[in-house]
Amino acid sequence: MALSARKLEVGETFSAVVVEDLKRTQIVQYAGASGDYNPLHTDEIFATKVAGYPSVFAHGMLTMGITGRMVTDLVGDGRLRSFGGRFLSQVWPGDDLRTTATVDAIHDKTGELMVELSLRTVNQDGLQVFTGYATARVDR
């Protein structure tokens, strides 16, 4: 289902829990699918004893992928024109993440009706782990 501009207001926010109690196995699942098997993400012994981290942690791209699911659920399939952001803090096994999307603008400057969203994914302590943006084509 694509989003209709009629139903959107600038400043409006949408929010969803995107992962609860992140499991090490999901991180490994992402490693297998993406091809990024960095032992920092897949190998607890390496991550703690060699690299000095408290445990393995999620790929930034897993956090972005999980965030992206919330965005595509909101704007519809195949509607994104851009999606990006910064990885601000690591995401650890056991974390809960929530993504909030805020409508910054609705315009047709490019000939297509577009929504501009700012995105924020935070963990259970309210710490920002990813902030970014997305633009998507919307229906009238």
Partner 1 sequence: MGVTVRVMTRERFPIEAGHVMLFARSIGDPNPVYYDEEYAGASELGAIIAPPTFVQADAQFNDSYPLRPKIGVPWFGSGRAPTGALRQSRPGGGSGGAGGTGLHAEQHYTYHRALRVGDVLTTITRPGERWEKEGRRAGRLLFSETITEFRDQDGELVVTARTVGVRTERVVEA
Which spans of this chain sit near partner 1 (rule: CB under 8 A)? 2, 18-19, 26, 29-30, 32-43, 45-46, 49-54, 59-62, 64-66, 68-69, 71-73, 77-78, 80-87, 89-92, 127, 129
Q: Which is nearer to partner 1, 27 or 103 (CB)?
A: 27
Of residues 12 and 84, the one with the C-beta less far from partner 1: 84
* Distance in Å, CB of 35 to partner 1, minimum: 3
Minimal distance in Å, beta carbon 119 to partner 1? 12
Q: What is the DSSP letter of 51?
A: S
Choice between 90 and 120, CB closer to partner 1: 90
Nearer to partner 1 by C-beta: 68 or 98?
Answer: 68
Cα gap 10→19, rounded to integer Å: 27
3-state SS class at 39: helix
Q: How far is the CB of 42 from partner 1 (least distance, A)?
A: 7
In degrees and rounded to multiples of 5, residue 74 shows phi and psi of -80, -50
Provide Rg for the chain, Cα atoms: 17
Beta strands in the chain, from DSSP E residues, in sequence order: 13-19, 80-87, 97-107, 114-122, 128-137
| Smallest separation (angstroms) from partner 1 to the CB of 4 | 14
Give the span between the Cα atoms of 129 and 123, in whole angstroms. 7
